[in-house]
């Protein structure tokens, strides 16, 4: 079991923080990368009740700042959270595609476990909306296996479409059956997202205005025109894809023994499970399950000494709706091939034994890729200390939560078991 705990967390509002002139194409940044990073870092410190001088190390997770905002060497930017107090602290940036800040959190936790650090700050940040759709697509494709995938025009919807096709083929589902399964995932995300004040697709967002809270409402959308659900990469449609977003999140970590002596809001990182799949999809033995994800789940649960029946809620990586099915099965919440039917049957809502993506997930909350891992941990922390942002489990006060964060085309798999300390 890990000996490191979260003692404070903060999540900025997620969304598109730009203004675009439709006539000239000019894009104006309304909230910068730097502002997001600073807000998240300061917010986490305040939430932990610590002074900046209490921190002795900083980790920053960021996917591709050089392409998104023309900024490399981002770890030193974290000093701007507290310029005087943080100056000369060691800072480290990690990259793991969409799991960049979970990798940062894991590295920071291991540093605390080593004894070299006592209290550390972990920040995840990304600003994605300054680029055109074409340039954003290219930037994300750089996290694929470039020689075989990105360089040949394979996009991330295309990479996860291969999982969707593999899943459909392996379990002998019709396109219509799969489409209803995926629409059920989207509808759940939108229902939960409208309750999350930090979500990109929250109140008064397009899904809210269109009433996309049932699979039928999504299935009935036209394929073309305003308010449509066009095919992106067969079989994935627009409403199967997560959002291009801006935002940041941060957590403060401390040795658990010290944490319980200084705070009553302590959530232990009870199990850290990480497993890496080969980057090229052509090198993987099948495309109907997250093999590395299942290994990461097993490692996390074993370290924490728990089983899936002990888990009170899960935040899983729904970059595309098909991946939510795969994560649900990898966790053991559904049998292999069964998750889609479970979502159709209405499982995993707030009143379920183990609700999934109470935050709205990446589909509704937003997916600023470098910030996603810390966001999943920050919002799970808030659930466990009785300060939920958005929906909370309906049956009981949660004590155990799981975060399942995936990087790239399910190459980097990070599974964290979080346990509230009494």
Domain of 128, CATH number, reads: 3.40.47.10
Q: Is residue 99 part of a domain?
A: yes
Active site residue 142: no
Rounded to an integer, the average pLDDT of 287-295 is: 98
| Residue 148 belongs to some domain of the structure | no
Q: Report pLDDT for 422.
A: 74
Residues in the chain: 422
Task: Kindly name the residue from 98, 241, 319, 354 that is annotated as catalytic.
Answer: 98
Does residue 116 fall inside a structural domain? Answer: yes
Q: Does residue 38 sit within a domain?
A: yes
Q: Report yes or no: 190 and 208 within 8 Å, Cβ to Cβ.
A: yes
pLDDT (tens digit per residue) in 115-164? 999 999 999 999 999 999 999 999 999 999 999 999 999 999 999 999 99
Residue 362 pLDDT level (bands cut at 50, 70, 90): very high
Range of the domain at 70: 4-133+244-258
pLDDT of residue 325: 98
Q: What is the pLDDT of residues 59-91, one digit of tens each?
A: 999 999 999 999 999 999 999 999 999 999 999
Whether residue 337 is contained in a domain is answered as: no
pLDDT tens digit string along 96-118? 999 999 999 999 999 999 999 99
- What's the total number of domains in the chain? 1
Instruction: Report if residue 141 sits inside a domain.
Output: no
Flag whether 122 is in a domain: yes
Distance CA 130, CA 339 (A): 36
Catalytic residue at 367? yes
Q: What is the mean pLDDT of the chain?
A: 97
**Confidence at 2, pLDDT banded by 50, 70, 90:** confident
Q: Is residue 301 in a domain? A: no
Joined tokens for residue 112: 């605390």
* Token pair for 173: 């589902």
Residue 396: band (very low, low, confident or very high) from pLDDT cuts 50, 70, 90: confident
With both helix axes pointing from N to C terminus, report the angle between 156-170 and 175-193 in degrees, rounded to the nearest 10: 120
CB under 8 Å to 383, separation ≥6 — which residues? 313, 358, 392, 393, 398, 401
pLDDT band at 181 (very low <50, low <70, confident <90, very high): very high
pLDDT tier at 24, thresholds 50, 70, 90: confident
Asked if the model's pLDDT at residue 234 lies above 90, the reply is yes
Catalytic hit among 239, 317, 367, 377: 367
What's the CA gap between 211 and 228, in Å, rounded? 13
């Amino acid at each position: 079991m890990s000996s490191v705990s979260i003692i404070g967390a903060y999540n900025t509002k997620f969304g598109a923080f730009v203004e675009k002139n439709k006539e000239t194409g000019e894009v104006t940044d309304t909230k910068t990368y730097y502002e997001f990073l600073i807000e998240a870092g300061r917010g986490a410190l305040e939430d932990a009740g610590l002074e900046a001088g209490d921190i002795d190390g900083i980790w920053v997770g960021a996917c591709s700042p050089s392409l998104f905002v023309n900024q490399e060497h981002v770890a030193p930017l974290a000093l701007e959270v507290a310029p005087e107090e943080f100056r000369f602290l060691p800072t480290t940036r990690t990259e793991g595609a969409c799991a960049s800040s979970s990798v940062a959190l894991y590295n920071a936790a291991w540093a605390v476990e080593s004894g070299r650090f006592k209290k550390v700050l972990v920040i995840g940040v990304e600003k994605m909306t300054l680029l055109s759709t074409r340039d954003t697509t290219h930037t994300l494709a750089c996290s694929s296996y470039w020689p075989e995938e990105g360089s040949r025009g394979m996009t991330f919807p295309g990479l996860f479409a291969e999982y969707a096709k593999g899943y459909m083929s392996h379990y002998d589902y019709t396109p219509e059956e799969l489409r209803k399964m995926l629409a059920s995932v989207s509808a759940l995300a939108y229902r939960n997202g409208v309750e999350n004040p930090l979500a990109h697709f929250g109140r008064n967002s397009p899904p809210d205005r269109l009433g996309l809270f049932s699979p039928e409402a999504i299935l009935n959308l036209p394929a073309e025109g305003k308010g449509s659900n066009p095919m992106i990469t067969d079989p994935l449609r627009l409403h199967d894809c997560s959002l291009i977003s801006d935002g940041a999140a941060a957590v403060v970590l401390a040795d658990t023994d010290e944490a319980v002596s200084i705070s009553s809001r302590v959530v232990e990182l009870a199990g850290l499970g990480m497993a890496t799949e080969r980057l090229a999809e052509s090198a993987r033995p099948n495309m109907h399950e997250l093999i590395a994800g299942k290994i990461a789940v097993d490692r996390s649960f074993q370290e924490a000494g728990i089983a899936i029946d002990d888990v009170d809620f899960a935040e899983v990586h729904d970059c595309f709706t098909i991946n939510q099915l795969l994560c649900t099965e990898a966790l053991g919440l559904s049998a292999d091939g069964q998750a889609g039917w479970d979502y159709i049957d209405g499982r995993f809502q707030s009143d379920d034994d183990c609700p999934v993506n109470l935050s709205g997930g990446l589909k509704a909350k937003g997916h600023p890729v470098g910030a996603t891992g810390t966001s999943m941990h920050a919002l799970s922390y808030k659930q466990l200390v009785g300060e939920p942002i958005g929906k909370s489990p309906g049956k009981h006060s949660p004590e155990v939560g799981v975060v399942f964060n995936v990087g790239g085309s399910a190459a980097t798999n990070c599974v964290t078991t979080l346990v509230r300390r009494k």
